[in-house]
Amino acid sequence: MACSSQRVCISNCSVIANVLAIQRGVQFGVDCCLNPKLIESDEAMVIKWINQGNFRDSDFGTILADIDVVRDAYGVMRFTYISAQANRAAQSLAKYPPNKNSQ
């Protein structure tokens, strides 16, 4: 997902960043004809919202709805929680700021 990175300036930054990362990652996978089947995140609350359909009326409800649309269109797509310690690759990438020359 590093190839689709973008700056997000919103008060609830951690949550919205995770929601956007999942949405953009799912869409990127579909755009590249990868047909993603398993999406993992270390943000347990976001995974719960996606799987249970909660918070559709929230500030980021439209983004969650976009994720649902893609999931419905491509069939089986699981969203699961993975601890940050177990997801070393994502944690390593998150430590690097976006390259200003690529914006």
Note the pLDDT of residue 1: 46
Give the domain range for residue 47.
36-96
Q: Is residue 24 part of a domain?
A: no
Whether the predicted pLDDT of 81 surpasses 90 = yes
Q: Is residue 70 part of a domain?
A: yes
Q: Is residue 1 part of a domain?
A: no
Contacts of 52 (CB under 8 A, 6+ apart): none
Distance from C-alpha of 49 to C-alpha of 62, rounded to nearest angstrom: 12
Q: Is residue 101 part of a domain?
A: no
* pLDDT tens digits along 1-27: 445 555 555 556 778 888 998 999 898
Q: Is residue 8 part of a domain?
A: no
Distance from C-alpha of 9 to C-alpha of 35, rounded to nearest angstrom: 30
Q: Is residue 28 part of a domain?
A: no
| Average pLDDT estimate for 31-59 | 85
